Amino acid sequence: MNRRGRVQPLLLLLSLAVVLIALSIGKIPVSPEHWKEILLGRMDTSAPQWVALVQIRLPRILAALLIGAGLSASGTVFQGLFQNPLVSPHILGVASGSAFGAATFILLGASVPLIRIGAFLFGLLSVVMAYGLGRFHRRSPLLMLVLSGVIIGSLFSALTSFLKYIADPMERMPTIVFWLLGSLNNIGWQDLAYSAPSMVLPLFLLWLYRWRLNLFSLGEEDAKSLGENTELLKALVICCATSITASAVAISGVIGWIGLVIPHMARLLVGSDNRYALGVSMTLGALYLCLVDTLARSLSGMEIPIGILTAVIGAPTFALLLRRAFPGEGEP
Amino acid sequence: MSEPILEVGSLSFAYPKGSEILRDLSFRLSRGERLFVVGPNGGGKSTLLRLLAGLLVKRSGQILLDGREIREWSSPALARFLAFVPQFRSPTFPFTVLETVVMGRAPYLSRFRIPGEECYRLAEESLSRVGILHLRNRLCTELSGGEWQLVNIARALTQNPSVLLLDEPTAHLDMAYKERILELIAGMTKAGITLVVVSHSPDIPLRYRSLSLLLNRERVLGFGESESVLSETNLSLVFSTPVRRIKTLEPRPREFCVPEDKPSQDRS
């Protein structure tokens, strides 16, 4: 128990270091001398370093931390809820719904904030539809929820493909495609201010419930026989995770793999007990996305879509993790 | 007779759009008594257990726990009074044994509480009661079937229940684990826990002084002392195949139930 208690503070320290590095790297580098000036309060607020730091990098990095933590937490609680370690936060169709919402508004030539609102609302809508479809006799069996999520998800994916097909191939279509690939580019303080509450509050609520979420991993019936109101807890978990994921997709586009891989890494580090695993998963997710976003904007002169990077890094990492998690399972 | 701790009166149940599974079932148990529910597959045994555990809602009749109708119990209060160990199901996530068993304290903790030292101590106490304290830091996914079943029983004991419902606790287990679990069941009665155990084998209730309920869907073939309820006639009727009770005398007299050979069957 002691070793597990130490992982969390260590990760927080590591995250702080990564954030400082991420803040320093970019087209306008911030050197240690600049940092000294900032700490001593001598930096001129009109200096290019200050502007790059405060106006551009800070909101972007905060968004990366928040989205990374949010997607990882949603993945962790969904995997527990559905008793399936291969579930991602997008299982109930949030990503497809949001993608359709964004594509629709891009096609209509809407402004960026409007596109974000559209993505958020359609993300919520898709989950509401999946939840409604999977609900029977005042109960919502988990298998039905998953199947409904798949149905609603593919419906919205098909509609998004249709929008791409009819979109103007010179202008609107590339915008849709880039948006779907995911990017943290152009996130300002305003975007952050609008989307933070719908991510921070549910994150906090999930964190408060962290131990009780364990009960789901025993199976719904066992959780019920331990006196838990499973329908209520299920609805609460779905609401929180959906709010987080839809907000994340609305400001960053679809960033895959984090919500699937990070919970596994967290569990490998501290075990399955969400008392530890949920917090570690959030920190690890924040750290990871901040790192990947820094790579995305600094590896080449051109910004690499972050969704591509998380997949390119995530897929082999996941393969390695699976080999470590099930050693010898593939042997005859 | 002492105050009944569990009383079932004219209980009926059917799944939505299904035919009736239980009809007009009545029995009562006093504190510390042991009831075995015996019957064929699909005979409604597990359904009865789920009704008693509050996981299914009855169609009509009454279930009184400690004199109070089951619907009037709040779910945490019910979970403090009664624990349910369902049929064998493998674990999904690699929780440790102690982490799993401490979940039995959930009905005692308020919404946002994290179990404290006291909870872990109680969980360890249940583990030693079941005899697997040495497994406490092992991962559930790496346990044998028998060990995992003991973990589930320990989790139920951590709820500190007055009534314990066990659904086929010895299914899929080898002889040694079967004996361990049966010993545990005997010990729990001594500790004053009222037991309802589902079993499709009549050998177990015949071994202990116990009550039996012989059940085949809407037909209740008997409730009372196992010795008399589980007669050859009743068993043959409920399993729709001729059943014989065979007695062995060494080292102590014991009875077993076996299906009768059919003349057509090829035997060497």
Residue A46 pLDDT class (50, 70, 90 cuts): confident
Has residue B98 got a pLDDT over 70? yes
- Residue A322, amino acid: L
Nearest CA among B193, B184, B213, B239 for reference residue B48: B213
Considering only A33-47, A233-247, B50-64, which range has the smallest mean pLDDT?
Answer: A33-47
Alpha carbon separation from A144 to A75, A141, A151, B52, B93 (Å, rounded): 19, 5, 10, 26, 21
Q: In angstroms, rounded to a whole number, what is the distance separating the alpha carbons of residues A250 and A240?
A: 15
Residues of chain A found within 8 Å of residue B107, distances taken between Cβ atoms: 226-227
Phi, psi of B215 (to 5 degrees): -130, 130
Tokens for B150? 């003991």
Has residue A1 got a pLDDT over 60? no
Across the interface, do B95 and A217 touch by the CB < 8 Å criterion? yes
Residues of chain A found within 8 Å of residue B110, distances taken between Cβ atoms: none
Task: Work out the average pLDDT over B247-265.
Answer: 83
Has residue A139 got a pLDDT over 80? no
3-state secondary structure of A125: helix
Across the interface, do B96 and A273 touch by the CB < 8 Å criterion? yes
Has residue A330 got a pLDDT over 50? no
Task: Work out the average pLDDT over A65-84.
Answer: 94
Across the interface, do B93 and A217 touch by the CB < 8 Å criterion? yes
Residue A169 pLDDT class (50, 70, 90 cuts): confident
Shortest Cα distance, chain A CAs vs residue B112, angstroms: 6
Percent of chain B exceeding pLDDT 70 equals 97
Q: In angstroms, rounded to a whole number, what is the distance separating the alpha carbons of residues B173 and B149?
A: 9
Q: What is the pLDDT of residue A118?
A: 94
Contacts 24+ apart (CB under 8 A), B128-136: B129/B154, B129/B157, B130/B154, B130/B157, B130/B184, B131/B180, B132/B97, B135/B97, B136/B96, B136/B97, B136/B98, B136/B101
Task: Work out the average pLDDT over A32-39.
Answer: 86
Has residue A75 got a pLDDT over 80? yes
Alpha carbon separation from A315 to A262, A278, A308, A320 (Å, rounded): 12, 22, 11, 9
Tokens 């996530």 map to which residue?
B93
A86 touches chain B (CB under 8 A): no
Tokens for B102? 């401490």
Across the interface, do B114 and A208 touch by the CB < 8 Å criterion? no
Has residue A22 got a pLDDT over 70? yes
C-alpha gyration radius of chain A = 20
Residue A327 pLDDT class (50, 70, 90 cuts): low
Alpha carbon separation from B139 to A38, B91, B99 (Å, rounded): 50, 10, 9
Has residue A149 got a pLDDT over 80? yes
CATH of the structural domain A2-325, one choice from 1.10.10.10, 1.10.3470.10, 1.20.210.10, 2.60.40.420: 1.10.3470.10
Task: Work out the average pLDDT over A169-180.
Answer: 88
Full DSSP string of A235-259? HHHHHHHHHHHHHHHHHH----SHH
Pick the more confident residue, A178 or A15.
Answer: A15
Paired sense of beta strands B60-65 and B34-38, if any:
unpaired
Tokens for B184? 């545990």
A85 touches chain B (CB under 8 A): yes
Q: What is the pLDDT of residue B126?
A: 96
Residue B19 pLDDT class (50, 70, 90 cuts): confident
Q: What is the pLDDT of residue B265?
A: 59
Q: In angstroms, rounded to a whole number, what is the distance separating the alpha carbons of residues B249 and B230?
A: 19
Considering only A44-53, A69-78, B55-64, which range has the smallest mean pLDDT?
Answer: A44-53
3-state secondary structure of B16: coil
Q: What is the pLDDT of residue A18?
A: 95
Has residue A57 got a pLDDT over 80? yes
Q: What is the pLDDT of residue A332?
A: 41
Task: Work out the average pLDDT over A190-213.
Answer: 95
Cβ atoms of residues B193 and B164 within 8 Å: yes
Q: In angstroms, rounded to a whole number, what is the distance separating the alpha carbons of residues A64 and A22?
A: 11
A80 touches chain B (CB under 8 A): yes
Task: Work out the average pLDDT over A8-15.
Answer: 95
Q: What is the pLDDT of residue A329?
A: 47
Task: Work out the average pLDDT over A15-42.
Answer: 89
Q: What is the pLDDT of residue A331?
A: 44
Interface of B with A (CB under 8 A): 16, 53-55, 74-80, 83-84, 86, 89, 91-96, 99-100, 103-104, 106-107, 111-115, 159
pLDDT tens for each residue of B190-216: 889 999 999 888 999 998 889 999 998
Has residue B157 got a pLDDT over 60? yes
Q: In angstroms, rounded to a whole number, what is the distance separating the alpha carbons of residues A174 and A176?
A: 5
Task: Work out the average pLDDT over A266-293.
Answer: 95
Q: What is the pLDDT of residue A31?
A: 87
Q: Which residues have a Cβ under 8 Å from the Cβ of A16 and sit 6 or more positions away? A: none
Cβ atoms of residues A75 and A260 within 8 Å: yes
| Nearest by CB: A227 against B79, B100, B113 | B79
Has residue B11 got a pLDDT over 90? yes
Q: In angstroms, rounded to a whole number, what is the distance separating the alpha carbons of residues B234 and B243?
A: 9
Residues of chain A found within 8 Å of residue B53, distances taken between Cβ atoms: 225
- Residue B247, amino acid: K
The pTM is what? 0.90
Average pLDDT of the residues of chain A: 90
Cβ atoms of residues B178 and B186 within 8 Å: no
Alpha carbon separation from B137 to A4, B133, B253 (Å, rounded): 13, 9, 42
